[in-house]
Amino acid sequence: MEDGETCPALRACDEDLIRTAYRLTRSISQRRPIIYWLDFLLAHCLGAVAFYWSAAASGPPWPVRCICFIGCGLLWYRSFAFIHEVVHFRAGEMRAFTTAWNLLAGIPFLCPSFMYSIHLEHHSRNVYGTGADGEYIPWGIKPPVSIALFPLVSLVAPALALFRFVILVPISWLSPGARAWLERRASALVIRGSYRRPAPNKPELRIWRLQEPCAVLWAFLVVLGCLSGYFSWRWFLTGMAVMMTVSFVNSFRTMLSHKFRNAGGTMTFLGQIEDSWNYPGGGLLTELLCPVGLRFHALHHMLPHLPYHSLPDAHAMLMNMLPIDSAYRQTNSSSLWSAMRTLWVEAVSAPRES
């Protein structure tokens, strides 16, 4: 079938469209662990090498240090982005990779996977785009100043994470009231400040109690190592700067993952898809800024079970089968900059309450 030719099966209702998409991509729905391991370890280890050369006292000249610093930020941003895949693993799936990711990235970056396990709420029909969705702010209809402020606010995220694990968590172990507040208000990787995390169930609590003390121990070792002079503050400050860079870049990616037009009501799954963006083009730059499949975010909301390495092939299959007037085609943006311009223009022109 030629690109854009109408497939009769896809002319039916929204549910039929999604079911058909599942059927079309069934052959590529299996995760390939070797891709996960090679991609993650290569990005993380190369990032560590770049970090060393950007922070070492006897390192290369400053221009080379700057290049290493940028390279470290982008590489560790990619290795950090695997948290999105980890939380989508089914129970018991790829346990070794999940453990390795937490030990090498999640805990050192002070964002173990339990902090993001609430992401699955974002895919719920009853939660997506509502006030209960911690990953949704209606930037498309809010004053544009909120768009400008979000990347700036994201710069303090690494410091807040350090404060959480060094100060707040030990206090919460001594105070039940502080613990209850911490679990609800400061234990989720979200963008909505008013978000309240539901109490963890027993399986979640077991993971929580394993990962959180490890992150506390790591944070204390880093701080005590600096205070005692065991290693130079240069390493700590460079590491914090890298994490600020990762957070800053991710803030732009977050703002460009959806159109953020929903005023707070519930949406259908098709509505979620239509409110999301794909970036099928853009080349290396788009992949650097939207790593590990995040450039196919609309497709991810249609088929959240698909592994990241299958998303490009799945997108090609759907584009080959879907009709010209398919709503899915409207989720494709020519570039990140085009989507940002759309978001800004819509925020500027959105009606305001008098």
Instruction: Tell me the average pLDDT across 327-344.
Output: 93
pLDDT digits (tens, 9 = 90+) for 127-181: 999 999 999 999 999 999 999 999 999 999 999 999 999 999 999 999 999 999 9
pLDDT of residue 14: 59
User: Rounded to 5 degrees, what are φ and ψ at 296?
Assistant: -110, 60
Assign 224 to helix, strand or coil: helix
Give yes or no for residue 330 having a pLDDT over 70.
yes
80 token code pair: 């950090």
H helices of 25-163, in order, are: 33-55, 62-88, 95-101, 145-154, 157-163
Confirm if 17 and 270 have CB atoms less than 8 A apart. Answer: yes
Give yes or no for residue 268 having a pLDDT over 90.
no
92 token code pair: 């018991």
pLDDT digits (tens, 9 = 90+) for 232-263: 999 999 999 999 999 999 999 999 999 999 98
Please classify residue 314 by burial: count the beta carbons closer than 10 Å to its beta carbon, then call 0-12 exposed, 13-18 middle and 19+ buried. Answer: buried
What is the residue extent of each domain of the chain?
A: 8-347
CA distances from 347 to 65, 138, 273, 343, 350 (A): 39, 9, 20, 6, 5
Q: Indicate the DSSP class of residue 79.
A: H
pTM: 0.92
* Chain-centroid distance, C-alpha 119: 9
Instruction: Tell me the average pLDDT across 39-51.
Output: 98
Confirm if 313 and 299 have CB atoms less than 8 A apart. Answer: no
239 token code pair: 């590491």
